[in-house]
């Protein structure tokens, strides 16, 4: 199972919106509405920010939103803030209780 | 406070067995959740290793299936990872995590609680 493809880096100015793509195949992203997104910051435990494509866990800012079209899922961060600077990873269920993660995207707030 | 925390040796010799433990606090490991190990090699992305239920059911990533074993000790509220015949390619930060719970508005196919990770280096 190959890793899902994400852009290596995305940047934006405070207040702007950015979108991170996550491209898989018809065997993972395209076949299941079970895509999740994680925020990873240095020294902290990774944090779940989106699950089941577009659902937000309690306590996660509504500036984070998710969507999916075909084999590509997307994470949008609206009203970009300095605290959003982090690495972001997508993940997809791939059947038979297995998972695959994305290659990761570094978000920089200019 | 519900949390999970990894522990284990930071250095393992090539060809030996990596052994890590994840202690679950503020929550019973025997509840309806599944528990997982995930790793991240330096400068690379996340890789799912495997998932287990307290009853003993386990699921592994195919490339690691022959070398990985996840087990549970309900009396200590912890679970463990053994990875045999390690090489430098197994050098990574290892995370333990809790899989989400299936419900009316949740598939459960995600990880909602993570530890901070522990770095394991494979070197002689």
Residue range A32-89, pLDDT digits in tens: 999 999 999 998 999 999 999 999 999 999 999 999 999 999 999 999 999 999 999 9
**Which tokens in the block code for residue B18?**
């990596």
A109 has a pLDDT exceeding 90: yes
Among B58, B110, B111, B115, most A C-beta atoms within 10 A, so best to mutate, is: B110
Q: CB B48 to CB A101 under 8 A? A: yes
**Which tokens in the block code for residue B121?**
């280096």
Q: CB B48 to CB A36 under 8 A? A: no
Q: What is d(CA A81, CA A63) in angstroms, rounded to the nearest whole number?
A: 10
- Per-residue model confidence as pLDDT tens digits over B5-56: 999 999 999 999 999 999 999 989 988 899 999 999 999 999 999 999 988 8
- Per-residue model confidence as pLDDT tens digits over B55-105: 889 999 999 999 999 999 999 999 999 999 999 999 999 999 999 888 888
- Collect all residues of chain A within an 8 Å Cβ-Cβ radius of residue B5: none
pLDDT at A63: 98
Q: How many CB atoms lie under 10 A from the CB of residue A99?
A: 27
Please spell the DSSP secondary structure of A21-40, one letter per residue.
Answer: EEE--TTTTTT-S-EEEEEE
B36 - beta bridge partners? B51, B97
Q: CB B110 to CB A48 under 8 A? A: yes
Tell me the CA distances in angstroms from B25 to A75, A99, B3, B4, one per residue in order. 31, 25, 5, 6
Q: What is the mean pLDDT of residues A91-110?
A: 94
- pLDDT band for A94, please (50, 70, 90 cuts): very high
Q: CB A91 to CB B110 under 8 A? A: yes
Tell me the CA distances in angstroms from B52 to A36, B30, B32, B46, one per residue in order. 19, 11, 11, 18
3-state helix, strand, coil in chain B (%, to 5): 5, 50, 45
| Closest by Cβ to B107, choosing from A48, A52, A91 | A52
Q: CB A89 to CB B45 under 8 A? A: yes
A95 has a pLDDT exceeding 90: no
Cα distance from A60 to chain B (closest Cα, Å)?
12
Alpha carbon B16 to its chain centroid, in Å, reads: 18
- E-strand ranges in chain B read 3-7, 11-12, 18-25, 34-40, 47-53, 58-60, 68-73, 78-83, 92-99, 111-114, 118-122
- Collect all residues of chain B within an 8 Å Cβ-Cβ radius of residue A96: 59
Q: CB A55 to CB B105 under 8 A? A: yes
């Amino acid at each position: 199972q190959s890793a899902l493809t994400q852009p290596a880096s995305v940047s934006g100015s405070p207040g702007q919106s950015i979108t991170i793509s996550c491209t898989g195949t018809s065997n993972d992203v395209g076949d299941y509405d079970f895509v999740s997104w994680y925020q990873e910051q240095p020294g902290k435990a990774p944090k779940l920010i989106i699950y089941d494509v577009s659902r937000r866990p309690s306590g996660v800012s509504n500036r984070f939103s998710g969507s999916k079209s075909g084999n590509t899922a997307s994470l949008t961060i609206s009203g970009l803030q300095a605290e959003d600077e982090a690495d972001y990873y997508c993940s997809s269920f791939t059947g038979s209780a297995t998972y695959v993660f994305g290659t990761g995207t570094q978000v920089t707030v200019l | 406070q519900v949390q999970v925390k990894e522990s284990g040796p930071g250095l393992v010799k090539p060809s030996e067995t990596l052994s890590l433990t994840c202690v679950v606090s503020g929550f019973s490991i025997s509840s309806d959740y599944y528990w997982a190990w995930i790793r991240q090699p330096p400068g690379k992305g996340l890789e799912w290793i495997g998932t287990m239920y307290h009853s003993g059911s386990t699921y592994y990533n195919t490339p690691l299936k022959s070398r990985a074993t996840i087990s549970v000790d309900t009396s200590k509220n912890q679970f463990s990872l053994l990875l045999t015949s390690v090489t430098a390619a197994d050098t990574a930060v290892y995370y333990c995590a809790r899989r989400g719970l299936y419900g009316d508005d949740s598939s459960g196919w995600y990880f909602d609680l993570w530890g901070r990770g522990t770095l394991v280096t494979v070197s002689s």
